[in-house]
């Protein structure tokens, strides 16, 4: 049995689709998630699932099926970078995964979990996924979400250093992920998802102005990574149980928001038309102007894959999903 928490969410539902294709019915796949009242359920509508478990029944389900579970992919979290309820964030992003870590260690179950590039803060200390205690102590996340992910990473490293850990554990610092099945995320959708419908309707792409003289408008840089690449790493980790640790998951190459917008227009066979808009004042002091994943540690661990070029990933997302009759994977 394979469990995916947050399995109806963005990265989780793409992982569930890939696991189903990979195992072809040889493994039961269980999703743990809240579906709510919107169309989040559509992300898993095509999947053949053994069960959909609400989070409040998660640990009861674990105890009832302890002998059957091989690996847990923990993608569930409060993932909004603008969430201000710190107690909620700690409960969901620190306390729950610590309980899950202990359960997996006690029951010999592998655990692969979602961390975040938000742990790096403004990037002043770089984006190297060195998870030594000294390196971890230097990081200064900019918001409660990033702090919670960093706090759990540090605790995981400390417990692993004492030999108190699941048989395999891996924390994945996802950078700017884009791709299908993020339709339910509202304001947290990627720039591609936000802008494509507007561009199709004849509007310009709207991007934030720069408020630093060393970056032109649209020149702010991000490590954009196609969701399929993230999933490929997780499938590889499933097949490589000897690999544990904290790893960056990105493309390894920073690209500008202007590049991203031009890729959308190219996928739609349209001439680029970009409008620069004011950034909300609340974001200006905490805005990251550059992120780029250092991918050396994952490569050294044996990861053989290649990242999808930005233009190709955007083309596939726009043509095969955002403008398709059935957009869900």
pLDDT band at 319 (very low <50, low <70, confident <90, very high): very high
Residue 58 near residue 32, CB atoms below 8 Å: yes
Nearest residue to 250 via CA among 179, 296, 307: 307
Kindly list the domain boundaries of the chain, sorted by start residue: 2-177+224-250+292-307, 178-223+251-291+308-329
Q: Which two tokens stand for residue 153?
A: 């990473």
d(C-alpha 11, C-alpha 34), whole Å: 15
pLDDT tens figures, 63-88: 999 999 999 999 999 888 878 899 99
CA 211 to mean position of chain CA atoms: 27
pLDDT band at 155 (very low <50, low <70, confident <90, very high): very high
pLDDT (average), residues 124-141:
92
Residue 323's SS3 state is coil
- Per-residue DSSP letters for 117-175? GGGGTTSTT------SHHHHHT---SSHHHHHHHHHHHHHHHHHHTT-S-SSEEEEEE-
d(C-alpha 131, C-alpha 247), whole Å: 9
User: Which of 295 and 189 is assigned the larger pLDDT?
Assistant: 295
Residue 79: the pLDDT is: 83
CATH class of 2-177+224-250+292-307: alpha beta
pLDDT (average), residues 1-15:
97
pLDDT tens figures, 33-54: 999 988 899 999 999 999 999 9
Asked if residue 284 has pLDDT above 90, the reply is no
d(C-alpha 228, C-alpha 98), whole Å: 27
Asked if residue 187 has pLDDT above 80, the reply is no
* Per-residue DSSP letter, 250: S
pLDDT (average), residues 309-326:
96
Residue 289: the pLDDT is: 92
Please state at what angle helix 257-267 crosses helix 191-200, rounded to 10 degrees: 40
Superfamily of domain 178-223+251-291+308-329: UDP-galactose 4-epimerase, domain 1 (3.90.25.10)
d(C-alpha 99, C-alpha 155), whole Å: 12
Percent of the chain clearing pLDDT 70 (strictly above): 100
Concerning whether 24 is annotated as a catalytic residue, the answer is no
Using the CB atoms, write b or e for 31-42: b if 16+ within 10 Å.
bbbebeeeebeb
Query: Has this prediction a pTM greater than 0.85?
Result: yes
Q: Which two tokens stand for residue 97?
A: 């995964």
pLDDT tens figures, 112-122: 999 999 999 98
User: Which is catalytic among the residues 113, 145, 183, 247?
Assistant: 145
pLDDT (average), residues 149-156:
97
Same fold, 2-177+224-250+292-307 and 178-223+251-291+308-329: no
Which residues pair with residue 174 across a beta bridge? 116, 249
pLDDT band at 185 (very low <50, low <70, confident <90, very high): confident
pLDDT (average), residues 148-171:
97
Q: How far is CA 133 from CA 41, 139, 205, in A?
A: 40, 11, 42
User: Which is catalytic among the residues 22, 185, 209, 253?
Assistant: 185
Q: Which two tokens stand for residue 202?
A: 């004849």
d(C-alpha 155, C-alpha 320), whole Å: 40
Q: Which two tokens stand for residue 165?
A: 């850990």
Cβ-based neighbours of 169, under 8 Å, separated by 6 or more: 101, 104, 110, 111, 112, 113, 156, 160, 244, 245
When the pLDDT of each residue in the chain is averaged and rounded to a whole number, the result is 95
Alpha helix (H) ranges present in 175-293?
A: 191-200, 227-239, 257-267, 281-284
Q: How many residues does the chain have?
A: 329
Q: What angle do CA 157, 237, 147 make, to 5 degrees?
A: 35
pLDDT (average), residues 167-181:
97
* Per-residue DSSP letter, 308: P
Residue 249 near residue 229, CB atoms below 8 Å: yes
Concerning whether 120 is annotated as a catalytic residue, the answer is no
Q: How far is CA 110 from CA 165, 209, 241, 283, in A?
A: 9, 44, 8, 38
């Amino acid at each position: 049995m394979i469990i995916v928490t947050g399995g109806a969410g963005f990265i989780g539902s793409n992982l569930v689709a890939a696991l189903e294709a990979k195992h072809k019915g040889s493994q039961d796949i269980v999703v743990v998630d809240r579906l709510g009242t919107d169309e989040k359920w559509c992300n898993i509508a095509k999947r053949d699932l053994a069960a959909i478990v609400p989070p409040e029944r998660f640990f009861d389900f674990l105890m009832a099926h302890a002998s059957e579970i091989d690996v847990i992919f923990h993608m569930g979290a409060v993932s909004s970078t603008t969430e201000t309820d710190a107690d909620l964030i700690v409960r969901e992003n620190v306390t729950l995964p610590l309980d899950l870590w202990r359960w997996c260690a006690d029951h010999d179950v592998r655990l692969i979990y979602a961390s975040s590039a938000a742990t790096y803060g403004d990037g002043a200390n770089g984006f190297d996924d060195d998870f030594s205690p000294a390196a971890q102590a230097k990081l200064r996340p900019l918001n409660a979400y990033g702090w919670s992910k960093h706090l759990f990473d540090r605790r995981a490293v400390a417990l692993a250093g004492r030999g108190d850990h699941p048989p395999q554990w891996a924390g994945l610092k996802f950078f700017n992920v884009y791709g299908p099945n993020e339709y339910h995320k509202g304001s947290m959708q990627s720039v591609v998802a936000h802008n494509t419908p507007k561009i199709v309707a004849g509007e310009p792409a709207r991007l934030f102005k720069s408020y630093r003289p060393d970056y032109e408008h649209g020149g702010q840089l991000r490590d954009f990574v196609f969701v399929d690449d993230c999933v490929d790493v997780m499938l590889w980790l499933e097949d490589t149980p000897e690999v544990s640790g904290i790893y960056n998951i990105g493309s390894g190459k920073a690209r500008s928001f202007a590049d991203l917008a031009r890729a959308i227009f190219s996928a739609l066979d349209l001439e680029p038309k970009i409008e620069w808009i004011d950034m909300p004042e609340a974001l200006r002091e905490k805005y990251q102007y550059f992120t780029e994943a250092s991918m050396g540690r994952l490569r050294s661990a044996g990861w053989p894959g290649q990242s999808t070029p930005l233009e190709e990933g955007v083309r596939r997302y726009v043509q095969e999903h955002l403008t398709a009759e059935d957009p869900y994977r």
